[in-house]
């Protein structure tokens, strides 16, 4: 089934110079899709880098400028929030490691430019997480998810606290102690991530994940966590990360070693293949070959490729067609399958299903 909007958006990301030749009718498909996928700012950054921004129609430029202004606002907000988290933890000696968008912003990565970041994700040592939570609550953040089930879901099973929202600024901090759930099939020793994290200049106690770990966290989030709603945006982040760190000496071998060490060959395989196929991301052939050897048996591998390909290319489609909806559902179920043992999963999904039919309430 043809999807000219999605195809146009991928082309714009892959070959930014091609945007100079886009017809108005194509822009009218690509811009709404890019907006719904959270990628308008990124198009602006890439058009600028390709030196063709001035050649774009005036109304397109308006929208790219507007999107970059919003992204710049988020950038400032993230820097401010990181300062406030530091202040809340002042005197405890607890350091924290920035993940995802906040890491891209404070690390000065290209992936940050034009990207929308809504939450600050931080990683802390598990044994200090209660203290971190207490400190944040003392400093104005509070729990959003107050039902007993949600609390238990996060605290006992997941790799993060329930989201903490600041009551004045309404910003959200997600405090993680790992990048994968406690109940999942794949386990990662978070101490290794913290040990390898790199300091942020001028901000004592604040670190960002090492380059290989930043890449792996992106991969885990996208290909393990089942969060394909922002799939293409996350894949574009991966593309930016690999283009940014790829030329650094030793990056690819460190990524290969880390992938093997943490047992993430299969999701990395999916991620690299899709990044290369959809966005033309340059990939080290040795790493590609190494993770290719960890691929799932051919029928499962082909099915996963098809599901992911569909879900990613249709990111931001407002009324997805049936195959896309099925692909999204299948990936969502898969992520939960990977996240918890079957009996726990059955209970969780039954409960979430039933919740749709009940009015909102608390403390269940």
Which residues of this protein are in contact with other proteins, per CB under 8 A?
24-25, 27-28, 31-32, 35-36, 57, 59-63, 65-67, 69-70, 72-73, 76, 318-319
The nearer residue to other proteins, 36 or 151, going by C-beta atoms, is 36
Backbone phi and psi for residue 154, each to the nearest 5 degrees, phi listed first: -70, -50
Instruction: Output 230 or 266, the one with its CB closest to other proteins.
Output: 230
**Shortest Cβ distance from residue 121 to other proteins (Å)?**
23
| Closer of 63 and 216 to other proteins (Cβ) | 63
Instruction: Give all strands of the β-sheet with 141-143 in edge-to-edge order.
Output: 141-143, 164-166, 172-176, 119-123, 96-99, 203-208, 198-200
In eight-state DSSP terms, residue 264 is -
Compare residues 74 and 198 and give the one whose CB is closer to other proteins: 74
Q: Which is nearer to other proteins, 23 or 90 (CB)?
A: 23
Q: Could you tell me the smallest distance in angstroms from the CB atom of residue 357 to other proteins?
A: 12
Query: Which one, of 260, 261, 219, lies nearest residue 241 by Cα?
Result: 219
Helix (H) or strand (E) holding 222: helix 211-223
**What span, in angstroms and rounded, lies between the C-alpha atoms of 362 and 364?**
6
Structure tokens at 298: 């051919």
Q: How far is the CB of 42 from other proteins (least distance, A)?
A: 16
Beta pairing partners, 99: 121
Q: To the nearest 10°, report the CA torsion of 101, 105, 106, 107.
A: 90
Residue nearer to other proteins on the CB measure, 322 or 343: 322
Closest distance to other proteins from the beta carbon of 6 (Å): 13
Rounded to a whole number of angstroms, the minimum distance from the CB of residue 68 to other proteins is 9
Cα–Cα distance, 60 to 28 (Å, whole number)? 9
Instruction: Work out how close the CB of 70 gets to other proteins at its nearest, in angstroms, rounded to a whole number.
Output: 6
């Amino acid at each position: 089934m043809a999807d000219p909007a999605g195809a146009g958006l991928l082309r714009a990301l892959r070959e930014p110079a091609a945007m100079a030749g886009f017809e108005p009718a194509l822009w009218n498909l690509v811009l709404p899709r890019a907006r719904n996928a959270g990628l308008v700012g990124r198009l602006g950054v890439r058009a600028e880098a390709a030196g063709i921004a001035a050649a774009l129609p005036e109304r397109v430029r308006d929208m790219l400028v507007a999107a970059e202004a919003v992204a710049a606002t988020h950038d400032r907000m993230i820097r401010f929030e990181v300062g406030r988290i530091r202040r809340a933890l002042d005197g405890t000696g607890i350091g924290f490691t920035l993940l995802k968008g906040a890491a891209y912003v404070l690390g000065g990565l290209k992936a940050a430019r034009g990207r929308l970041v809504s939450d600050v994700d931080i990683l802390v040592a598990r044994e200090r997480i209660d203290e971190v939570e207490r400190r944040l609550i003392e400093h104005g953040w509070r729990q959003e998810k107050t039902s007993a089930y949600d609390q238990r879901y996060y605290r006992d099973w997941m790799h993060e606290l329930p989201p903490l929202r600041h009551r004045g600024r309404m910003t959200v901090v997600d405090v993680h102690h790992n990048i994968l759930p406690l109940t999942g099939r794949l386990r990662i020793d978070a101490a290794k991530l913290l040990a390898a994290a790199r300091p942020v200049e001028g901000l004592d106690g604040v670190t960002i994940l090492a380059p290989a770990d930043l890449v792996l966290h992106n991969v885990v989030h996208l290909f393990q966590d089942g969060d394909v709603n922002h799939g293409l945006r996350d894949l574009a982040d991966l593309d930016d990360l690999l283009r940014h760190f790829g030329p650094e000496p030793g990056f690819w071998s460190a990524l290969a070693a880390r992938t093997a060490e943490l047992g993430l060959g299969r999701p990395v395989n999916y991620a690299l293949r899709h990044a290369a196929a959809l966005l033309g991301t340059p990939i080290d052939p040795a790493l590609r070959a190494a993770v290719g050897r960890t691929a799932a048996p051919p029928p499962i591998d082909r099915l996963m490729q098809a599901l992911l390909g569909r879900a990613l290319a249709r990111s931001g489609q407002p009324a997805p067609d049936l195959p896309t909806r099925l692909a999204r559902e299948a990936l969502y179920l898969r992520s939960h399958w990977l996240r918890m043992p079957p009996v726990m999963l059955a209970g969780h999904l039954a409960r979430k299903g039933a919740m749709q039919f009940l009015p909102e309430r608390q403390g269940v």
